[in-house]
Structure 1
Amino acid sequence: MRLIPEAFAQSTADREGDAGRAWLDRLPGVVEDLLRRWRCVRDGSVAHGQVGVVVPVRRADGAPAVLKVSFPHPGNVHEPDAFAVWNGRGAVRLLERDDARFAMLLERAGTGSLADLPDADEAMAVGGRLARRLAVPAPPGLPRLRDRAPEWAEGLGKDAERLGHPLPSPVLHAALATVRDLVPDQPDTLVHGDLHAANVLRGEREPWLAIDPKGFVGDPAYDAFTLLRSRAADLLTAPDLGAALLRRLAVFAEAAELERERTVRWAQLRCVQAALWGRDNGDPEWLVGMYDHAAGLLTTNIS
């Protein structure tokens, strides 16, 4: 059974350079050691995300699980902390952890995801209900979104200037106003941080289970854009993009029990950030254009 998928090995080496290649060389030994230590055997083909491999396993009692080993990166540090706090509430259960090797043994969820739902509004509602379940008091030590306000404010201004001010001034000013008004004033609530459709899997003990959290602390409305973005292609076929955006955000806000206005403002800010980031990082022109258009439409709906 091939342990390291070729596409994953290539992308890791391309992204991380020598450090990534050295980690890939160690990875088979790390997996085998963890399988022995946690008394598991392999039970299927190895899958992968952008930064880690996922090995289906059976535990000593025959229960299914997955072994996840990620490339060491600051963005992965608090994933097990979030799982530990939720303890299976709306997310897969954390069974074992090895923080030094960025490894976890996790409950195995189903193969289907929220991306498979044909109805985008239904997907937003499911995501909103899940965001509400995951919104629990956060423990100390996790990264606070509010601490990023100075960085975001400075970055928006500098990026817009460097890129030749591609967005209308009212759109940029609305995003800066959200950073000023909302980002510093957030609850101490655990937030998934990357709640896109492929990170919500079918479950058995619960209908839907979240995976791959970032473990941020802040406003659950932050995740509305993440879910919206994961169905971006659907929006291109909407007869009225503005109406579709507002409807989906309203569906998410109602399901998550959040203020609609606050959810719209977070989505507008993150659309602006995505539009600027996409220009710098080679996003497809259609996607950058959609972020531009969406940011403008949402700006007109901020009171």
Structure 2
Amino acid sequence: MRGVASPRLARRASAWRRDLAARLRHAEARWSLVLEGPLATGETAARTFAVRRADGAAAVLKLAPPGQALEAEATALAAFAGRGAARLLAADLPAGALLIERLSPGTALRHLAARDDDAATLAAAGVMAALRRPPPPGAVLAEAAGWVRALDRALEAPGPLPRPMLARAARLMRELAAGAPPPVLLHGDLHAGNILRDGAAGWRAVDPKGLIGDPAFEAAAFLRDPPGPAARAARRVALLAEATGLPRERIAAWGYAGAALAAAWAVEDGSDPARWCAAAEAMAPALA
């Protein structure tokens, strides 16, 4: 999920992309890498490449605009230390470069979810449990509950989103924050596309946002993507609660609020929020 990019940040990202070839050559030389080719990219400015290290080990090179988002990702990966997530091998934050362990075969969990959603949900729960740990000492990371500001912006401005959904989600987020347990380090975007198969190690995460907050927040991204029928959403909540030991009601509330947040960010980004509104609607019965 993303917030609004200012014109200044948009210009910086555009300039960064123009220099991508030079940045790639710099990283190859710095870490003695052999480039194998680009990997699939999402909607962000970041670009990833399959590479080999000098010893022949497979790795992923991630190039992204330097700044707080990349620093938070590097902090999270370093703190996870390979337990539940791909390992951070090296970082050059001023250059916007991360060298990350390549997971093999790297098949996304969403492929399992398409044929056995219960199994995928339990796999996601296992990753959530493996990642759970206290925030790293001294780390400066955003608080997940602070994302309520996106809902406030949506409520204050005219737009296509249902006002009752936004108001309910904002209220839930504030209630969740008020009664939150001690915060943990969060991946922050643990949907089924960011959980990959890794041989005997099972499933591990990639592309963390790097946040701190309520442990139950970690379920939100998985619950909303892809949206499904209400019965499926309720079963996912029940399975996640049983497997992680987290309160069912907090998982459900974060699932609803997270879907509404995704809808608000979609509108800010100029994309269609329909799928996220559908996810919130499917989550609503689980709040009862």
Shorter-chain TM-score range = 0.7 to 0.9
Where do residues 140-159 of structure 1 align in structure 2 (5 Å cutoff)? 140-145=138-143, 148=146, 152=148, 156-157=151-152, 159=154
Matches within 5 A, 1:1-303: 17-49=10-42, 50-110=44-104, 111-117=106-112, 118-139=115-136, 140-145=138-143, 148=146, 152=148, 156-157=151-152, 159-160=154-155, 162-163=157-158, 167=162, 169=164, 174-184=168-178, 185-232=180-227, 235=228, 241-284=229-272, 286-294=274-282, 296-299=284-287, 301=288
Aligned length: 277
**Counterpart of 1:141 in structure 2: which amino acid?**
A
Do the aligned residues in 2 keep the contact of 1:275 with 1:291 (CA within 8 Å)?
no
Deviation at 1:212, TM superposition (A): 0.4
The amino acid across from 1:219 in the alignment is D
| Amino acid aligned to 1:125 | L
Name the residue aligned to 1:238. Answer: none
Deviation at 1:155, TM superposition (A): 5.0
Question: Which residue identity does 1:123 align to in structure 2?
Answer: A
CA distance in 2, matches of 1:48, 1:15: 23
Task: State the TM-score, normalized to the length of structure 2.
Answer: 0.84
Q: Which amino acid aligns with 1:24?
A: R
Q: Secondary structure at the match of 2:99?
A: strand
Q: Which runs of 5+ in 2 are unaligned?
A: 1-6
SS of 2:103's partner is coil
Unmatched segments (≥5 aa) in structure 1? 1-13, 236-240
Q: CA RMSD in A?
A: 2.8
Q: Distance in 2 between matches of 1:203 and 1:36?
A: 28
Identity, % of aligned positions = 34
Q: What is the distance in 2 between the residues matched to 1:94 and 1:33?
A: 18
Kindly indicate whether the alpha-carbon contact (under 8 Å) linking 1:44 and 1:57 is maintained by their aligned counterparts in 2: yes
Highest Rg: 1 or 2?
Answer: 1
Q: State the partner residue of 1:5.
A: none
Q: CA deviation at 1:278?
A: 4.0
1:15–1:294 distance in 2 versus 1, CA, 3 Å:
farther
SS in 2 for 1:123: helix
1:142, 1:217 within 8 Å by CA — same for their partners in 2? no
Per the alignment, in what secondary structure is the counterpart of residue 96 of structure 1?
Answer: strand
Given that residues 260 and 276 in structure 2 are in contact (C-alpha distance below 8 angstroms), is that contact kept between their aligned partners in structure 1?
no
In 2 relative to 1, CA 291–260 (structure 1 residues): closer, same or farther, beyond 3 Å? Answer: same
C-alpha spacing 1:276/1:291, structure 2 compared with 1 (3 Å)? farther
> 3-state DSSP class of the match of 2:19?
helix
Structure 1, residues 188-231: CA drift from partner, whole Å, max 9, x if none? 31110011111111113511121100111112211212012222
> What residue identity is the alignment partner of 2:204?
L
TM-score computed with the length of structure 1 as normaliser? 0.80
Specify the code of the residue in structure 2 equivalent to 1:113: A
Further displaced range: 65-74 or 254-263: 65-74
